[in-house]
Structure 1
Amino acid sequence: MNVLPSIEQPRARAWVIPAAVALGCAALGARSVSVLALGPTVAVGVLGMAGVVTYRDVEHPSRSRIAAVTLIGVAAVAAVRLISPPIHVAYTSWAFGANVVAAVAEEAFFRRFVYGWIAARSEDLAIVIAAVLFAVIHIPVYGVGVLPIDLAAGLLLGWQRRESGTWLSPAITHVVANIILMR
């Protein structure tokens, strides 16, 4: 006998997905800047990839549209880097790899799983909720001062998700942002 109800059952969906989102956010928010943080980060990324998402993009944008949306995001984070100081993370091969893994895992979670869950009701709401959660999970490591910039970044990444039709566009932008913001 299966103790847990199938995720396809409405009652199960009413609590399983919100619980997975809450646990994922708690795991990401509890991270520190260390090699030990990669474990929870990868686990949340796997959840983001494996999580059941009922939302499907109605249209499939062209490759040129996806490329344009990605380039707009990359240009935006590059412009921010020109006017803001780098994050104080030493530029080592470990830090480089950890930043790439974190960016991809966070985007799989926020722009694939969380966005996909909420976008079935409202894409605009999905952008905002995923952006707020994204900003909040960064406070424990970087402080409350990052909230406005991380909220703006989350909104940009959410816009990219909607306009590109895929979570890969914001993932590329997030990877670039993490790398260029290092010193």
Structure 2
Amino acid sequence: MIQVRLAAPRRAVRVTGLILAAALLRALLLPLGDALSTIVFGGCLLAISWFEREPSTGEPRWGRGRSLIAGSMVGAILLAPVVTGPLSARGLGAFWSWAAIAAVIASLEETSIRGVLYRRWAGEAGTVAAILAGAAVFALIHLPRYGLAALPLDAAVGLALGGLRALTGRVFPCAIAHTLADWGAWFWA
């Protein structure tokens, strides 16, 4: 059920600020190296997800099988804008280590955004606010890496992942879709 509430979402705003601060720290550390900035960003997201976690709310959830299928289908749809372009010159050799890191970071992003942030916003302001806040944060954390030109696409991806979270009641399919989209972008971006 989609709900909208008008109360001041103080805890939700705090979690939003923490995630955006982690992304800002990543951007500030980028000149020191991609590996360092990625490790610090991942560590921040892990800490946010750990310290801000809450017990399960008992919301209706899809099973693992349906969630895996839904995440895979959304991941394939998210790839649609890039698969029409030419293949990148990147080879498979470097893909595997990058793919492992991308899967971890995508999963941490989803755990913090579609997990903690979504629950906070949904609980304090409703599902629509949770989806919109998650999409905005998702787009903003990718801004330093992909620039303003990618902002609308990142916001749309954030909306799709938020909708998937609302539909399935789980973070797992969002992490699958995000990871598959990142992996596909390796070959087409």
TM-score by length of 1: 0.79
CA 1:85–1:154: 2 relative to 1, 3 Å: farther
The answer to whether residue 81 in structure 2 is matched with residue 83 in structure 1 is no
Of 106, 122, 147, which residue of structure 2 is paired with 1:103? 106
Superposition deviation, residue 138 in structure 1? 0.9
Say which is worse superposed, 97-106 or 23-32, in terms of deviation.
Answer: 23-32
Query: Contact (CA 8 Å) 1:29, 1:136: kept in 2 or not?
Result: no
1:45 alignment partner in structure 2: 46
Query: Contact (CA 8 Å) 1:54, 1:117: kept in 2 or not?
Result: no
2:160 alignment partner in structure 1: 156
Identity percentage over the alignment?
24
Q: How does 1:129-168 map to 2 (within 5 A)?
A: 129-168=133-172
Structure 2: give runs of 5+ residues left out of the alignment.
1-8
The answer to whether residue 26 in structure 2 is matched with residue 23 in structure 1 is no
Of 108, 116, 121, which residue of structure 2 is paired with 1:118? 121
Structure 1: give runs of 5+ residues left out of the alignment.
1-13
What RMSD, in angstroms, separates the aligned Cα atoms of the two structures? 2.8
Distance 2:159 2:81 in 1: 14
Distance 1:69 1:57 in 2: 20
2:132 alignment partner in structure 1: 128
Superposition deviation, residue 179 in structure 1? 1.0
Distance 1:68 1:182 in 2: 22
Query: Contact (CA 8 Å) 2:75, 2:179: kept in 1 or not?
Result: no
Q: Deviations over 1:69-95 (max 9, x none)?
A: 223312212323312467898744442
2:34 alignment partner in structure 1: 34
Question: Larger RCO: Structure 1 or Structure 2 (Cα < 8 Å, ≥ 6 residues apart)?
Answer: 2
2:186 alignment partner, SS class: coil
Distance 1:157 1:23 in 2: 20
Which one has a larger percent helix, Structure 1 or Structure 2?
2
1:182 alignment partner, SS class: helix
Name the count of aligned residue pairs.
171
